[in-house]
């Protein structure tokens, strides 16, 4: 006797989610953890297999590369492992229009 048409078999089938992205918050861990924790070393971008490439934004004044509470972006870099852009010497890429000014390494844009 087949049980595939029984109510128990129908109830055991998992339901699909219409919008899986609604269950993801990529900004978790991109801010401050308070006085006892300090700055949380995380970034909101995707990571390729085994974390070798981590394309994500870099914000001003963050050793980890990105801080949610920052209002200034320095650009996008490819490596955010451990301590991010400032420690590893990555070059953040900031697409701009017009003149970059006399010190492009200090350039940033308001978010």
What is the span of the domain harbouring residue 33?
18-111
Please check whether residue 73 lies inside any domain of the structure: yes
pTM for the whole structure: 0.59
Please check whether residue 99 lies inside any domain of the structure: yes
Instruction: Kindly tell me if the per-residue pLDDT of 46 is higher than 70.
Output: yes
**Considering its fold, how many domains does the chain have in total?**
1
pLDDT digits (tens, 9 = 90+) for 3-29: 555 666 556 777 888 998 888 887 776
Please check whether residue 10 lies inside any domain of the structure: no
Please check whether residue 9 lies inside any domain of the structure: no
Please check whether residue 13 lies inside any domain of the structure: no
Please check whether residue 35 lies inside any domain of the structure: yes
Please check whether residue 72 lies inside any domain of the structure: yes
Please check whether residue 6 lies inside any domain of the structure: no
> Which residues have a Cβ under 8 Å from the Cβ of 73 and sit 6 or more positions away?
57, 58, 59, 60, 94, 108, 109, 110, 111
């Amino acid at each position: 006797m087949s049980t595939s048409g029984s109510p128990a078999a129908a109830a055991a089938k998992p339901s699909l989610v219409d919008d899986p992205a609604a269950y993801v918050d990529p900004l978790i861990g991109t801010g401050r953890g308070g006085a006892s924790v300090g700055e949380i070393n995380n970034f909101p971008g995707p990571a390729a297999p085994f974390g070798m490439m981590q394309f994500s934004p870099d914000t001003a004044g963050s050793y980890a590369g990105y801080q949610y509470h920052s209002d200034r972006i320095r650009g996008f870099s490819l490596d955010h492992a451990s301590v991010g852009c400032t420690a590893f010497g990555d070059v953040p890429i900031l697409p701009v229009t017009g003149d970059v000014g006399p010190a492009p390494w200090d350039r940033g844009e308001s978010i």
